[in-house]
Amino acid sequence: MKRGYDVVVVGGGPAGLAAGVKARMLGLSVLLLEDSDTLGGIPLQCIHPGFGLHCYGEDLTGPEFSHRLIGSAEEVGVNHILNAYVSGMAAFPDNRRITLRVISPDGAFKLHASTVIYAAGAREKHIFEAGIVGDRVSGLYTAGEAQALMDLYGVMPGREIVVVGSGDVGLIMARRFALEGAHVKGVVELLPYPGGLTRNIVQCLEDYGIPLLLSHKVAEVKGERRVEKAIIVKVDERLRIIPGTEREVKCDTVILAVGLVPYIKPLRDLGVEVDPSTGGPMVNGFLETSIPGIFTCGNALAINDLADYAVEQGGQAALGAYNFIKNRGIPEAWKSVGKGRNVKLAIPHYISRGRDAIIYVRVKKPERNVKLHIPEIDWEMKLPSVKPAEMIRVRLDAEDLLKIIDGLTIEVIPDTCRR
Amino acid sequence: MRVAIIGAGIVGSSIARVLSRYRNLVVYLLEREVDVGWGASKANTGLIHPGYGEDPDEHPLRARLCAAGNRIWRRWARELDVRLRWPGELALAFVRKDLDAIRRFITLGYRNRVPGLRLLDRDELESFEPNVSGEALGALWAPSCGQILPWEAVTALIENASANGVKLNLETEVRDIKIEGWRVKGVETNRGFLPADIVINASGINADTVSRMAGIDHFSIHPRKGEYILFRGDSSPKVVRVLHRVPVHDTKGVYVTTTIEGNLMIGPNVQDLPGELKGDKATSIEGLDSIWMEAEKLVKRLPPRDEVLRVFAGLRAEPSWGDFIIEAYDEAWGFINVAGIRSPGLTSAPAIAYYVRDLIGDRLGIRLEMKDKGEWTPCRRGILRAADASWRRLGRLIDGNLGYGKIICKCRMVSEAEVVEAVRRGARTLDGVKYRTGAMTGDCQGSFCRIRIGMILARELGMPLWKVTLQGGGTEYGLGDVKVLQGRSGQP
Amino acid sequence: MAVKAFTCTVCPIGCEITVIVEEGKIVDVKGFGCTRGKDYAVREVLDPRRILVTVIRCRNGRLPTVSVKTDKPIPKGKTWEIMRILSGIMVEAPISMGQVIVRDVADSGADIVATRPNPKSDENSDQPHPIRIRSFRR
């Protein structure tokens, strides 16, 4: 086996597969490392449609989407190792290479790469991150775990369900449970507005008569062996518990759909700079992290609501790796991307004046009839509604960006001229 | 002579190990749970206390057995291949009264033969502990304070005891003790009657209930709940030493420590519960807030609240008397109580075990015949960990066993081979695997790996995935097949 | 007379549309911003349809389930009947992507198709050679 590659991709989900495919198409030598025993990533267990609208112009289910990518990888020949775990990385700027330590049933070995594209995805927030205390009982699952149990491994977790979190993941799981015959008592949401798309509120909750409790949280779970009750309380506008509003909901299963966090432990160990608003690395327009030659994409970079964006980022990272190798580094003059009114996150954190750029933005609060606005270049995009759950994809041409001097700021402002 | 030990916690398993050395004793270890050490033994601070705080006049057994246990653990940890560190302890003083108390503890410590005690003054503190609070006036430095993972100690003791002939009976609950003519005849359990000449009650929180079965009811045990907060592995700041405030009123107070696995941990608080609530291990916001408040005073800074990984609670067996109750009785010859083993129980366990052996010899007058050299081994090797192996070693391990190359738990780097070995060594549940391998205790708390471990358990134990349990019957992973709620006949 | 209110899901604007129904017939539709929205609302009242996705059980495959969908939207009212039919099915691996599992399920006009291939379970599938890099086998 060859030990040195142009690109080593860590992670065989949508972002990693897309990065591997693009890198191969650009003529680079690629090795992809996947920790589980199949390629495809999380969409393999997301049996609902909503994938591929941007990439393929079709409304595919998750598995269909993953298999399209696997097919492309097969076509261009992306070599890969399954059951491979990266136990550590070391970056050697002098020799311009990165060494990875890999553990797999094939042996423990080291790989050398000119560039690494880190696409290892995200982890789910656990029960304490959801602010739940109480008895130590069984019957508590994260949404992804419940999804894998049902839709990969054919296991029914429980029969009386409380779902915590009204993002799309929680809504989709509420419907899965209801459809398979469970009694979904309700979806509990901390904020005063739901986290997921309206389409999912309708097709997952309304269609099945599942109550949505806004401004509520599960404070405690009780039970002897398995959960028997969830104590649900109301919260005020500062998200504090309103005393006296506790009520018990009988259940045997609590599903935690309270959010994802990029899984970047190997990058943290290397000292990469992290953006606290995304939980992922800070990156430039080529999705290169603060460590030269190490790129990131997909949910490891920031939590994406569309797998299509993960694919797009994978392609961009591969392009970055190609540039890095061709020019022995990426010597651009990067201008910073700042966050203005109602912008929670904006990626990448740096762009260059001379290239087209795609910026992914998330807002802090929902608003209607607004404009995305960049004052430095006098650019705007009207949007009828913005929601924290929906990532906004902004495309800027190199021409627009020529006007930047020091950097740019993205802000969300009310659209004063309504239709 | 047949010996039945009730309770496979740290005390029962230590006694089992010690008694397994004697040829004329056949030892049965009875445990009502589905695995060992699931009572207070797995939910405590994990400290090997120096023992300066035990007053030999007030609590003679605690004072003697704590200091002795502290010394014995060094040898036992080596023999049993259990991780044991000696960070040393700082008992911080914040007011004049604390400094006086320290002087008193140094005297007590001298009586208890505790080595190396010293009063540190304010200027020295930071060089011992960089994160120490600037408000501390001084501290008692006790270098002989150690740290251990208590569940690792229990499983090691059990494996060693079993290798030496002790018969472990899980899911076996003692319902009654048969006494005839003032002598112990045996125990009545949910699995039938076990004849025994000696019955040792090491049942922790239920020791008073079990003792009453033998007609001994001069003490009671009530649960003392202690909650703990564990932080993520990558959170900071941590601490180097074991920190707490100078003890008052026979409680050691809230500790701030960094566990052997590298996680900052704070706790426990103290909540005395009525005797009947022996199952209440719930955590609460008030309890956690009170721990936070106390811990904050000891250090410059705690990590931010959102870096908390996990909270849990343990129930300690608090005796109505205060001291350990380790005694034999004329009116129930053969029955030995080892009850009320509250703090410093973990520390004292080895010494308690030898003390009980001596009780059997002296008080019951039984001559104990030691096994020959080849018949008994003090040594037990733990599960070989991929995370601890050098790179070359790991390569060789994988050559011999492909399972070492398949990493199941990403956060703690636990391989499939270790999970399978844990099952071979007695794990039947997800928690059983967790306590033997450390899997699922990392930053993701099992969200990546619990299913994988479930599948390995399902395969090794020959059961469907949904039947695998978290911690025994009633905690199954699932209800059944994905279509189980739909049946064939009707709509839900 | 019944008034049904919807948030339209055709585009991100999300117009709030109300439909007034009298004796099973639509008399008025208000609040839509475009004809697509109006059509959506009318359909939701007269003939609401959904794509149904679930899993079915599978024997002897790498996974014990195959994910499936209806190849076109089916009337909402047939959901439970279809689920009942599907819960009684056990297919046999190998299953290929797009394979038709049930034709015209419950007379809905839609087929149930597999959305995930499930190859036969292969006991020796991961006995690797020394550091074998997997290339795709054709």
Do residues B76 and B174 both lie within one domain? yes
Q: Which of the listed residues B382, B411, B436 is the one where a domain comes to its end?
A: B382
Tell me whether residue B168 is in a domain: yes
Element (H, E) at B185: strand B183-189
Q: How sure is the predictor about C12, in pLDDT bands with cuts at 50, 70 and 90?
A: low
Chain B, 370-399: which have a CB under 8 Å from a chain A CB? 386, 391, 394-395, 398-399
Q: What pLDDT, on the 0 to 100 scale, is given for residue A53?
A: 93
Q: What pLDDT, on the 0 to 100 scale, is given for residue C136?
A: 52
Q: What pLDDT, on the 0 to 100 scale, is given for residue A331?
A: 81
Tokens found for residue A59: 């409304």
Residue A51 to residue C8: CA distance in whole angstroms: 20
Residue A308 to residue A52: CA distance in whole angstroms: 6
Do residues B77 and B182 both lie within one domain? yes
Tokens found for residue B367: 């001559």
Does position B237 have pLDDT exceeding 80, yes or no?
yes
**pLDDT, average across residues B123-128:** 94
Q: What pLDDT, on the 0 to 100 scale, is given for residue C132?
A: 45
C94 preceded by a cis bond (ω within 30 of 0): yes
Residue B383 to residue B156: CA distance in whole angstroms: 10
Q: What pLDDT, on the 0 to 100 scale, is given for residue C123?
A: 59
Q: Cβ–Cβ of C57/B481 closer than 8 Å?
A: yes
Q: How far is CA A331 from CA A274, A293, B357, in A?
A: 21, 12, 75
Closest to A252 in 3D by CA, of A303, A351, A319, A177? A177
Number of neighbouring beta carbons within 10 Å of residue B236: 11
Chains that touch C (3 or more CB pairs under 8 A): A, B
Domains of chain A: 1-124+260-331 (3.50.50.60), 126-258 (3.50.50.60), 333-419 (2.60.40)
Do residues B313 and B450 both lie within one domain? no
Q: Report the complex ipTM.
A: 0.94
Tell me whether residue B491 is in a domain: no
Do residues B22 and B75 both lie within one domain? yes
Tokens found for residue A48: 């609902």
* C53-114 fold: CPE0013-like fold (3.10.530)
Asked whether the domain spanning C53-114 has the same topology as the one spanning C2-46, the reply is: no
Do residues B3 and B126 both lie within one domain? no
Give the distance from residue C38's alpha carbon to the nearest chain A alpha carbon, in angstroms.
16
Q: What CATH code would you report for C2-46?
A: 2.20.25
CATH number, domain with residue B149:
3.50.50.60
Residue B99 to residue B246: CA distance in whole angstroms: 8
Do residues B297 and B378 both lie within one domain? no
Q: Is B49 a catalytic residue?
A: yes
Q: Cβ–Cβ of B410/A35 closer than 8 Å?
A: yes
CATH number, domain with residue B283:
3.30.9.10
Q: Which of the listed residues B318, B333, B360 is the one where a domain comes to its end?
A: B318
Do residues B48 and B15 both lie within one domain? yes
Chains that touch B (3 or more CB pairs under 8 A): A, C
Q: What pLDDT, on the 0 to 100 scale, is given for residue A41?
A: 97
Tell me whether residue B437 is in a domain: yes
Calculate the average pLDDT of chain A. 94
Which structural domain range is residue B264 located in? Answer: 89-143+222-318
Do residues B399 and B480 both lie within one domain? yes
pLDDT digits over B405-458, tens only? 999 999 999 999 999 999 999 999 999 999 999 999 998 899 889 999 999 999
CATH number, domain with residue B402:
1.10.10.1100
Do residues B155 and B201 both lie within one domain? yes
- Per-domain residue ranges of chain C: 2-46, 53-114
* Total tally of structural domains belonging to chain B: 3
Q: Which of the listed residues B358, B382, B406 is the one where a domain comes to its end?
A: B382
Do residues B411 and B432 both lie within one domain? yes
Do residues B427 and B461 both lie within one domain? yes
Residue B78 to residue A229: CA distance in whole angstroms: 45
Tell me whether residue B253 is in a domain: yes
Q: Cβ–Cβ of C128/B487 closer than 8 Å?
A: no
Q: Cβ–Cβ of C57/B486 closer than 8 Å?
A: no
H helices of A152-306, in order, are 168-179, 198-200, 265-269
Tell me whether residue B302 is in a domain: yes
Do residues B188 and B312 both lie within one domain? no
Tell me whether residue B492 is in a domain: no
Report, as ranges of residue numbers, the positions in chain A whose pLDDT lies below 50: none
Where does residue B138 rank: exposed (0-12), middle (13-18), buried (19+ CB within 10 A)? Answer: buried
Q: How many CA atoms lie within 13 A of B428 on its CB side?
A: 14
pLDDT digits over A331-363, tens only? 888 999 999 999 999 999 999 988 999 999 999
**pLDDT, average across residues C21-29:** 86
Could you please report the per-residue DSSP string of chain C? -EEEEEE--SSTT--EEEEEEETTEEEEEES-SSHHHHHHHHHHHH--EE--EEEEEEESBSSSEEEEEESS-EEGGGHHHHHHHHHT-EEES-B-TT-EEESSGGGSS--EEESS-BPBP-TTTT-PPTTPPB----
